[in-house]
Structures are given as structure tokens and as C-alpha cells.
Structure 1
């Protein structure tokens, strides 16, 4: 593939009033307005320009991941997308995504992109694109067959419940149409340690809701977790609840392994068509060290494929970023060390047993 292209850093604070002349000639005003409407700087925005300057694309990506996202391609769109693909291959990325603001299914298909499944919460996220597309870049692969449904958490604290529901919907254990806010909040209420869901409590809640699903918790500490920001009585009563969750796990037969689940172990699990709810820090991907649950459901060469129930619209993210998100093995390993900046240093995961027809190619 031809690798001739130019990369221009996108200066989101300066360019809305001073776009380069070639870009102003080719990009519709509404596209330039959208590009400048949010601060995309956390995701390293850049313009990739095709040879001769006839086409260009605005790219962004979460730090610590193995993809880039085309926000829009303008001018000679096939040339712009070809330049992006050359750039992505040279960067060794696993995937290119394309938001469907201006891209239609015909343009996407002509460039080798497949449509992404629309999120279940799309109606609540009117600011997001009405379509999205993906192209996997590793040789001979097309990513994850039959991806899970994407549902964005409706609160700042229900990520654990959403990942569990999405996993079970993907497995065919939970009806996809039942994944809604009532289900989200009901499962969170059963799993919460107020306000977060810690690993043992989440595993116990999964077993109670779906008694026939095999569940195993991995937590490499025997003390209370996710409480470093609290002190005194506020910390102690939550620690009591965590001890109660461990006792309940014993009564329900939920194994609690006092060790970490390695990235190799995650790959093995998803290879067996299982799901892993993984607790990670958002320090790398979002810039703040907040514990957060993601769903690991697939693997491609060099990366684990996750669905993240959260995305940050203020930084220009959409569901296209968070769905089918490839995270390099090393990055995922580092992210799974939670509480590092607050002295916590633990790893937690919940593995939910096998599913039927969905799998990784």
C-alpha cells in the first residue's frame, strides 16, 4: 500500500478561525464547525492529507489503544481514506474506525469498512453519529464475529452493571431488548459498594441474577478495595459490606481467586467464548485515575478487544470509539493495575463462563 501522505497536527484552539486554505476550499462549513466544537486535544487530533492535498481526514484516538478514528474525510474522500489506511498500517494499528457524520455505507464499503452495530442507547445520544464503520488491519482477520450490543452507562457509577448485562446479552443469557436503564440500575443496586461495584460484590450479583452462569472472581488482595478516597466511618461501613460479599460468595459457591487474571488468561477466556469484566484505571485512556469496568470479549493479534460503557463527548468521543475498542496487551496489563496513584495497587476481574455462537476469528 502506498505510504505517501502528510500528517498535520490539529490545533483545535487556533484553527476554527484560521483553517488552512486548502481545507477551507474542500471541507463543508458544517464539518469544520463540528471539528472545532469540542476540545479534542486529549486524543491527539491530527490531519492526514492525501498526496496533492486533494483529500484530508481528521483523526483522533484514545491514548493507549490500537486504533485511529476518522471523524470526517473531505475533498477526495477515497484518496483521504487511502492515506489514513497507509498511515494506520505504518503505525502498526489493529483497526481504523470511521464516524458516519458524512460517510455513507457505500463509501465505507468501497474502502473496505464494515458497519458497526448501532448502540442500544442511540436515541438518548442525539449528538453522536447515526452510523459508524470499522476496518480491521491485521492480515486475514475481520475482528470479532457477532459483536456484543453496545449500551452506554447512564450514570457515572454503573459501569460494572452495564458490562455484566452486555456480557450476558452477548451470551444469549439475557435478552438484548431487556438491556435498559431499569436493568442497569437494578443490577447496580444489587452489586454496589456505594457507589462503585467492587469485584466480589459484582461477581455475587451476577450469580444471583443468573444462577446457571459460571462466575469466578479474581482479586489479588484480601482487603477492601476502591476505598482509598474515603476515611473513618465512610470507609469502615463499606469495608463491612465487602466482607459480607465475600461471605455471600462462599455461600453461593462463587470462587474468589486471590491472584490476578493475566492478559494471557483474558485471551484464553475470550478464546473459549467467555467474557471478562475487567477493572481498569482510566488514567491512560481518559487522563484521570478513576477505577472503571470494561467488557473484554475478543482478541486480535497484539490486542484485546473491549467494549467500554463510557465515552467522553466533551473530548469528541462517541460510541464509535468505545465499541469494539482494541487495547494492546501491554497497555491493558498496565491499565488493570488500579489505584496506583492513590497507593491501592490491586487488580480485579470477574470471569463469566462460556457462550454459544459468538466468537473471535
Structure 2
């Protein structure tokens, strides 16, 4: 148990699946804790931030609570998420915001299971745009809210959750173009998702060159640059040799097509400074990352980098891990510290899972010491 901050008195206790603290039950009749236990949230550091009554201090474990919130977050990120708040809801939210500030985080989110727009606005939160689609198996709330803890704003792209385990590359490109105004949000649907994936896929992965070529063919006026600091085929090592051969041939064909239609393939390592620079110029960066840090399994996956705040890059992730209580509220406008994003986007060429599938059953630990690479696609403003 720990005390958080000096201006807001609070108690922080771990959240244990299958049981609830007595003080939580004493807050009165509510059915929220029952829902808290419907999934295993342990991968996202679940904890309860509680506000003790006037007669109790943060050091008093037996003090009655007047408010409590269940709080989680993806590992290696820069936010906290309120799943629900009960009791004196404004007091619980103030305690969570104070905790986030004390940790130097970029934002607090609030899932809209029980939060009302009025309560959220009174606490300084703004509504997130409802998702156009949610990823399979990760049904989240209809509403969500965010409160940034820094000066300035980050413009919000539409959120679209990939509807298959393998279309993350196509979805990030579509969302980037919708955010840039090149594609109307109404056109961002499953037909568009699967059509772009079909043009970009290396079966079933979307490797960087093929994805860049497909984006350029779909939007000829948009400048596209592929960043790939290896000249060998990628995302193939887990396949048998004969399956690697024809996929490698397709990747070489993509490189030839990139040269034919004028898509540069930059061989240098794309730094986080360069990613921030591209975002500052109004460009979008589709970045290949491993989900090992944020979700606990080493699966290559595409995310969209579209904003920057002090110390973190803001991404949109088209996939949410519903089995861990992860929803579109986590995946949308997600701040990731520069160092964390740098680490998770250094990919192993020997990763034993090399599809962009987000099914944890496909993942395995990398074998041995491997060569590494970074893959990205930068989409500039339309000419």
C-alpha cells in the first residue's frame, strides 16, 4: 500500500482477480466490481486507487473508503486508464489524475461503462470519437474520455479496429489517410480494409515495401517512403524453406515495383528523432513493432504514429487485447515513451512469429541471437 501525492489523499492497493477489498464493498450497492473480474487484467498492472474518509489516512489499511477506481494501463506506455469509479466519483478521478501527474504521465483515460459525459467534462475530460469498428474479441464501451496532462493538443484520427488478425498494416494506412483528409471516414470500412490488405500482403503479413507500394498505388498523390535498414526479406524466418522462397520472391517483386512507380526505399535506420520530425511536418508514420512489451507476446504488428507530446509519441493501435481487459480506449490516442517505442520497433529477423497476426496463439519466443531491423512507411501530405 502506498500514499500518492500531497494534495490528494489516496490509497493504492493491488487489484486481485476473484476478490474485492472489504472497503470497496462498503461503498454501497453497485454491480461494477462484478464486471471487473470478468477478464484477467493481470498483464496491465490492475490496481485500485481509493480515497479514504476523513477519519482515515493513506497509511490506515482499515480506513473506510469514500471512493475508489479500478485503474489499468498497458506496460511501457505513458497513461493510466480508469475502468470505473464508484462512490464519490469526482474524488476518485481526482486521485487518479494526481497519481498520473506524480508519475509524469501524459494522460488519463476513462472508459465509458458507467461514466457520464457530464461527470467526465466536470473532471476535465473530453470525449473520444466513437470507434468505427472494434477489433475481434475486444468489445469495449460505447464511449471513452481522455484528459491530457500537458499543454497543447493532439489531433484525433478516427479509430478503426482491425477486423481480422492480419490486416493491421492496411488499417494503419487507411486511418492515416483519413486523418490527413485524403480518405473520408465513411469510406473506412471492412471492404476498404481487405482491399488494401490484398494489394499489400505477403501472405498474410504486410511487409514494409509491399505496404508502401500498395499505399502509393491507392493514393498516387501521396508521397510515400519506405524505411527498411536491411536488404534481406523480412518476416519470414518461422516458415519452412519452401514457403520462405516464394514469399521472398514476392518481396523482391515489391522492391522492383517500388522502383518503377517511384517509391524510395531508404536503407538507413529510422530514428525516433526522425519519426518526431515527420510527425511535426504533418506526415504519418506506419511503424512495425513487436507486441512483446505492451501485450506480452512477440508478434510483429503495425501501428500508426501521428502525434507527439513531451517524452512520448502518440500512436493508434488497430488491435486491442480483449482477454486482458484491453479496449479501443487503450489503443486510441496511446502515448508511448520514446525509449519504449524505440525498443519495441527494433525487430528481430529470426522472430519465430513473422506474420502480422495479433493472435497470441501464433507467438513464440525468438530463438537465439538475431539480426535486427526497423521497418516503417512514411506517408506525406498529398501533392
TM interval, shorter chain, is: over 0.9
Aligned counterpart, 2:62: none
Q: Secondary structure at the match of 1:92?
A: coil
Contact (CA 8 Å) 1:172, 1:355: kept in 2 or not?
no
Cα distance between partner residues in 2 of 1:276 and 1:79: 39
Aligned counterpart, 1:304: 313
Q: 1:290 aligns with which of 272, 295, 299?
A: 299
Contact (CA 8 Å) 2:134, 2:163: kept in 1 or not?
no
Deviation of 1:51 (Å): 3.3
Aligned counterpart, 1:275: 284
Change beyond 3 A, Cα 1:290–1:29? same
Cα distance between partner residues in 1 of 2:101 and 2:47: 16
Does the alignment pair 1:216 with 2:228? no
Contact (CA 8 Å) 1:121, 1:152: kept in 2 or not?
yes
Aligned counterpart, 1:359: none
| Structure with a larger share of its residues in helix | 1
| Aligned ranges 1:85-124 → 2 under 5 Å | 85-121=97-133
Q: Secondary structure at the match of 1:144?
A: coil
Any runs of at least 4 consecutive aligned residues in structure 1 with deviations exceeding 4 A, and if so which? 122-126
Aligned counterpart, 2:264: 255
TM-score (norm 2): 0.88
Deviation of 1:122 (Å): 5.5
Contact (CA 8 Å) 2:135, 2:320: kept in 1 or not?
no
Q: 1:4 aligns with which of 9, 12, 35?
A: 9
Deviation of 1:206 (Å): 0.3
Deviation of 1:29 (Å): 4.1
Higher mean C-alpha displacement, 44-53 vs 328-337: 44-53
Aligned counterpart, 2:245: 236
| Aligned ranges 1:193-204 → 2 under 5 Å | 193-204=202-213
Residues 285-340 of structure 1: per-residue CA shift (max 9 Å, x gap): 01011100000000000000000000011110111000000000000000101126
| Aligned ranges 1:98-177 → 2 under 5 Å | 98-121=110-133, 127-138=139-150, 140-141=151-152, 143-145=153-155, 147-177=156-186
Cα distance between partner residues in 2 of 1:251 and 1:275: 23
Q: 1:63 aligns with which of 75, 88, 106?
A: 75
Aligned counterpart, 2:92: 80
5+ long unaligned stretches in structure 2: 1-5, 54-64, 352-365
Cα distance between partner residues in 1 of 2:287 and 2:252: 21
Q: Secondary structure at the match of 2:372?
A: coil
